[in-house]
Amino acid sequence: MNTVKLIFASLFKNDAAIEGRKKSWLIALIIFLFSTIVAVIPLTVATANTNGSSFFGSTLYSFDIGLQKFNQALDDNDIDLTVAENLDLEHILVTTGDLAPMYEGTNTFYQYKNPVSNQTVIKVYFMTGNTITETTDFVTGLLALTNTSVAPADISSFIVFGSHAMYAYLYNPAGVADFSVAGSGYTSGFQGNFTNVEPGTNLRNFIKYDASNDSFDVNTAAGQTKFMNNWKTFFDNSYSQIKQTLLWSSTGIMIGVDAIIGIFMILMIFILTRGKNNPNHTFSVLDAFKIGSWSMLSPAIIALILGFIFTSYASMIFIMTMGLRIMWMSMKNLRPMPTGSAPVKK
């Protein structure tokens, strides 16, 4: 049987996969590498399709209204939140203006409350003068808050603006009120930096100018859309550098994991055929590698298809299907045969 036909046959026939050991090791290596790459495509695509603006894709619990009120407060108090370039050519966020008028009472943060329920809709913390470690520790502390009827916590959706990074977390106020949601129970979370944000970007202007620098009235439906588009674009740009890093690291890790699983299954084939009564005990390590590699293609294709359907389980599908393929092969084709049965031809 020629190589192409044998490859197609190996998708559903164990005998064809075993027959592949008679082909060149280079073909087996190509199938091995191709299978590990194909299996991670759904996860890679899912990561590539995740944007910073996805933060706004869930129920917002009036977060958008709070964001508008915050933006209006920036403009009313003549406060600029501008992305600038420092001496190290890093993009940082700089605050210009007196923040005190934005604070309520002794608070050191801006907050907007629902005028009807008096529940806090959003809190905004300015930490552009703090170190990266201080900002990270502060956010970690907010996420670690406990919330019980005995010791209720003041938890609400918030944004933290640091000099090098920003954080945003969304909470269900009803869950906070009935103590079922603590600091770690956010419904949507975001972390970004300003590496890919254009220097000169001023968050204050999001309520006045669109992407084309044309003015608009935020109190109109069209103005509301342009306002939110400004923030969505900002979130996308803030997340893009992290997204690129995550895309390459997660893809590389999963390729490595799938390769290790493949090697483990190859080792299983070799071990399962070691018994002296096993008619296939003459298989060498190279034979096991070839058989295992030829067996990987169909699990990889199944993982590719099901990974797009069940995205949450994309990283596990190849592992499970590869395990099932080798189990099926070991039970039907590689197990010791009854006395008188002929071994697989060498």
Report residue 309 as tokens: 């359907």
Those residues whose C-beta lies under 8 Å from the C-beta of residue 338, and which sit 6 or more positions away, are none
User: For residues 328 and 268, is the Cβ–Cβ distance under 8 A?
Assistant: no
- State residue 272's pLDDT score: 84
- State residue 340's pLDDT score: 52
Burial class (CB in 10 A: 0-12, 13-18, 19+), 138: middle
Could you please report the per-residue DSSP string of 34-78?
A: HHHHHHTHHHHHHHHT--GGGGGGS--TTHHHHHHHHHHHHHHTT
- State residue 250's pLDDT score: 93
User: For residues 289 and 278, is the Cβ–Cβ distance under 8 A?
Assistant: no
User: For residues 251 and 48, is the Cβ–Cβ distance under 8 A?
Assistant: no
Look at residues 50, 58, 44, 56 and name the one whose alpha carbon lies nearest to residue 243: 50
Residue 68 CA to residue 327 CA, distance in Å, equals 58
- Bridge partners of 91, per DSSP, are 85
Rounded to the nearest 10 degrees, what angle do helices 25-39 and 41-48 cross at? 40
- State residue 9's pLDDT score: 92
Helix or strand run (H / E) with residue 191 = strand 188-193
Residue 81 CA to residue 35 CA, distance in Å, equals 48
Helix or strand run (H / E) with residue 310 = none
Q: Running along the chain, 346 residues long, what does each successive block of 10 average in pLDDT? A: 87 89 94 95 93 93 95 95 92 93 88 91 93 94 94 94 96 94 95 95 95 93 96 96 94 95 92 79 90 94 94 89 89 65 53
Look at residues 65, 156, 158 and name the one whose alpha carbon lies nearest to residue 119: 156
Residue 191 CA to residue 234 CA, distance in Å, equals 12
Residue 104 CA to residue 109 CA, distance in Å, equals 8
* Adjacency order of strands within the sheet including 165-170: 110-113, 120-127, 158-162, 165-170, 188-193
Backbone torsion region of residue 205, taken as left when φ is above 0, otherwise alpha when ψ lies between -120 and 50, otherwise beta: alpha
Distances (CA, A) of 329 to 8, 123, 268: 17, 59, 11
- State residue 344's pLDDT score: 54
Round the CA-based radius of gyration of the chain to a whole number and report it: 29
**30 φ, ψ (degrees, to nearest 5):** -65, -45
Distances (CA, A) of 82 to 55, 162, 274, 305, 314: 22, 12, 68, 45, 40
- State residue 117's pLDDT score: 87
Other CB atoms within a 10 A radius of the CB of residue 342 amount to: 7
- State residue 281's pLDDT score: 82
